[in-house]
Amino acid sequence: MSITLTIDNRPVSGRAGETILQVAADHGIRIPTLCHLEGLSGHGSCRLCLVEVAGNGKLLPACVTPIREGMEVSTRSARLDRHRRQIIELLLAERNHVCAVCMANGSCELQDLAREFGVDHLAFPPLYPLLPVDGSHARFVLDHNRCILCTRCVRVCAEIEGAHTWDVRNRGSRSLIVVDLDTPWGESTTCTGCGKCVAVCPTGALFEKGRSVGELRQHRPALVALVAGRSTEGA
C-alpha cells in the first residue's frame, strides 16, 4: 500500500512498513546517522537521525519510525542541528577520540559529522576513560577507546555472517562491545575472521593489522554494498 507524506515540504511516497529514513533516502533526502547501515536492522541508538514530525512535540528517530499517511516531517532545523551537534560532542567526550593518532583519521564517519556540524570544541569535559585494546586476534584489533556503541558490528555479525560473535556488556557509560562470553577476540570459538565487523565500523574502534588509512577508505564501501545487496535479495 502506498503512503503519501511530506519531507522538508516535499511530497513523497513510500510503502507501508517503511521508515522515514528509508523513504527519505529513496527520494535523495539525506538524514545524518551513525548507527544505521542499509541492509541491517534498525537500532536507533545514535539519535543523530532525529527528525521533527508535525503534531508531535518529541523528536523521533527516523531509522525506526514508520511512515504514516499525511505525515509532515522536517529533517533540518535550528533545533535539530543543535541536538545533533550536542550528540556529537557527547560522543567525542565520552571516550578517547584523538583524531591525529587514530587509524580512521580521514575515514571516520564521526569525524565527518563533527566537521559538518561545526564541532570544533567540546562543551562537555572529556572523560578520558582508561579502556582496553584487544589485539589478541591474528588479523584484527578492537580498541574500546574509539567505540561509539553503534552495534553495527553486532548486527552485521548476527544478521549477515550468522556467527553471533559480538554482544554488548553492561549499560550506560560502562557499556563495552564484547566477544562471545567476554573472552579475548583471539580465543573466540565463533568468529569466522570474515572482517565484516571491521568494514562496517564507523570509527577506528575495529581495524585490520597492517592496513593503512588509505586502504581503510577503499575497503569500507565494498562491504556496505554487500550488505545492501543482501537486503535487496531478501526483499
Query: For the segment 145-166, what is each residue's pLDDT rounded down to a tens digit?
Result: 999 999 999 999 999 999 999 9
Co-location of 121 and 220 in the same domain = yes
Position 124 confidence tier, pLDDT thresholds 50, 70, 90: very high
CB of 149 closer than 8 Å to CB of 43: no
The mean pLDDT of 91-96, rounded to a whole number, is 95
Boundary-marking domain end, from 49, 76, 103: 76
Domain count across the chain: 2
Do 116 and 179 lie in a common domain?
yes
pLDDT band of residue 103 (cuts 50, 70, 90) is confident
The pLDDT score that the predictor gives to residue 220 is 58
CATH of the domain at 66: 3.10.20.740
| Ramachandran sector of residue 109 (left: φ over 0; alpha: ψ -120 to 50; beta: rest) | alpha
Quote the domain boundaries for residue 62: 2-76
Residue 131 binned pLDDT confidence (cut-offs 50, 70, 90): very high
Residues 186 and 106 in one domain: yes
Burial of 54 (0-12, 13-18, 19+ CB in 10 A): exposed
The angle at the Cα of 93, spanning 99 to 134, to the nearest 5 degrees, equals 65
Confidence (pLDDT) at 218: 47
Predicted local confidence at residue 235, as pLDDT? 47
Is residue 41 domain-shared with residue 145, that is, in the same domain? no
Residue 138 cell numbers, joined: 591474528
Q: Note whether 104 and 209 are same-domain residues.
A: yes
Please tell me whether residues 212 and 121 are part of one structural domain. Answer: yes
Domain boundary residue among 44, 76, 108? 76
Could you report the per-residue pLDDT of 4-23, keeping only the tens digit for each? 999 999 999 999 999 999 99
What are the tens digits of pLDDT across the range 25-62?
Answer: 999 999 999 999 999 999 999 999 999 999 999 999 99
| 54 belongs to a structural domain | yes
Read off the CATH number of the domain in which 204 is found.
Answer: 3.30.70.20
Same domain for 181 and 155: yes
Single out the residue in 76, 103, 137 at which a domain terminates: 76
Within-domain flag for 128: yes
The tens digit of pLDDT for each residue in 202-232 reads 999 999 998 766 566 545 555 666 666 655 5
- Tell me the helix, strand and coil percentages in the chain, rounded to 5: 35, 20, 45
Say yes or no: 97 and 159 in one domain.
yes
28 found inside a domain: yes
What digits encode the pLDDT tens for the residues 63-93?
Answer: 999 999 999 999 999 999 999 999 999 999 9
Question: Do 39 and 8 sit in the same domain of this protein?
Answer: yes
In a domain, 86, yes or no: no
Q: At what angle do helices 109-116 and 78-94 cross, to 10 degrees?
A: 140
Residue 7 forms beta bridges with which residues? Answer: 10, 73
